[in-house]
Amino acid sequence: MQLAYLGILLSLWALCSSLDNGLGKTPPMGWMTWERYRCNIDCKTDPENCIGEHLIKSIADKMADGGWRELGYVYISIDDCWSLKKRDSKGRLQPDPERFPSGMKALADYVHARGLKLGIYGDLGNYTCGGYPGTTLDTIQIDAETFASWEVDMLKFDGCYSNSSEKALGYPKMSQALNSTGRPILYSCSWPAYEGGLPPKVNYTFLGSICNLWRNYDDVQDSWDSVLDIIEWFACNEDALQPAAGPGRWNDPDMLITGDFGLSYEQSKSQLAIWAILAAPLIMSNDLRSISQEAKELLQNRLLIYIDQDSLGKQGRRVAKVSSLEVWMRELVDEQYAVAVLNKGTDGIPKRFFMSLADLNITQSALGYKLYDVFEKEYVGIVKPETNIEMNINPTGVVMLFVCPASDRLHRL
């Protein structure tokens, strides 16, 4: 009797505490201000690039008419430094009126009219990381209500200036507060990144019940070193991270920096390939108003996006290391796979590499497999599991293959 009672209580608790917004069934895609625009609030001398409504509107226009939205890039998110340094007389956060003269609701309307969704940034703590007003345990409810009243669609909830106990209370509390507004708001939690990103300090099962995505590790910077560091951290900790991911709950290795200054063409391909293998959110931080055609084509690669957005939602992993080469692999629906071979070498020589699907335990299809080269955008041919596939992988670059059973028609592409 008592046990049954306890069971009911626990189920009720799970019902109330879990994030029930039905969002993020595939990794979220979009654009965010932080990596490229940081805390640039100088709208007087740098009106094109400061954090303000002009930047958001002009990027939203590009997302809507530059072919981005149709591919799934729908979230446009304002990161830190959007607010005034003081709450209003009713205790609500308020945007800086000089930089957001029309207000957030009008900006959300503008974004929605273009078929996009608006994201905003908050921080569980006394201040945001950039020193703007934070959300304390006492202001979680009012802030969730304010965001919902503006018709915001996503919240990135950072964790500067709070301790571990406050985080343990505050992240679930914000999840419930967002739920209670009745507005579906994609909830991105930076909590694990502040706790070292790993169990036992981070409980990924619980996190998956209260957040749609979460930052696990350090901020991406505009450099290949930074991307490599993130890749290595995810590879080393994949046993803990892989089971955490799935529809509605994603690990977030941080923003895509393709189209910025720090990555070469090959390195941009590598970041995209590994992010897709990791079932990572594809959130760009770049200037879509002036992006090169080359970078645009990489970010708009349909097969890459198809792989990232695969409905099985299973995160892939690094399966082998051979000198400077790494083999990464992700299982997709219907016995399809994505395979990426990354060449971390910097000696200048494209590396030749031979590998069969049988080496990767891809052997089920009696008729063999069709291979597509994701970045060359070409059909390679049909191979048997034991066929040796030859690849040439450029330094700091990647070769990525999409593998599907030969019997399967490619009707979803």
Size of the site for ligand GLA (CB under 6 A): 9
Q: Which of 387, 266, 394 is nearest to 325 (CA)?
A: 394
Cβ proximity to ligand GLA, 129 vs 383, nearer residue: 129
Q: How far apart are CA 402 and CA 375, in angstroms?
A: 10
Least separation in angstroms between residue 70's CB and ligand GLA is 27
How far CA 167 is from CA of 109, 159, 186, 238, 240, in Å, comes to 32, 7, 19, 24, 21
Cβ proximity to ligand GLA, 55 vs 342, nearer residue: 55
Exactly one of 95, 130, 192, 253 binds ligand GLA (CB under 6 A); that residue is 130
User: Collapsing DSSP states into helix, strand and coil, what is residue 75?
Assistant: strand
Active site residue 158: yes
Active site residue 287: no
Q: How far apart are CA 204 and CA 30, in angstroms?
A: 24
Region of 22-30, 43-51, 125-133, 202-210 interacting with ligand GLA (CB under 6 A): 125-133
Exactly one of 53, 55, 75, 80 binds ligand GLA (CB under 6 A); that residue is 80
Q: How far apart are CA 326 and CA 328, in angstroms?
A: 6
Q: Which helix (H) or strand (E) holds 61?
A: helix 53-65
Interaction between residue 143 and ligand GLA (CB under 6 A): no
User: Collapsing DSSP states into helix, strand and coil, what is residue 63?
Assistant: helix
Please, are residues 393 and 342 in contact by the beta-carbon 8 Å criterion? Answer: yes
Least separation in angstroms between residue 155's CB and ligand GLA is 12
Cβ proximity to ligand GLA, 125 vs 397, nearer residue: 125
| Active-site option among 20, 61, 109, 219 | 219
Least separation in angstroms between residue 413's CB and ligand GLA is 33
Region of 55-63, 128-136, 227-235, 339-347 interacting with ligand GLA (CB under 6 A): 128-136
Least separation in angstroms between residue 42's CB and ligand GLA is 16
Cβ proximity to ligand GLA, 79 vs 260, nearer residue: 79
Dihedral angle computed from the Cα positions of residues 8, 13, 16 and 18, in that order, rounded to the nearest 10 degrees: -120
Structure tokens at 237: 């900790």
Residues in contact with ligand GLA by CB under 6 A are 34, 79-80, 128-130, 158, 190, 219
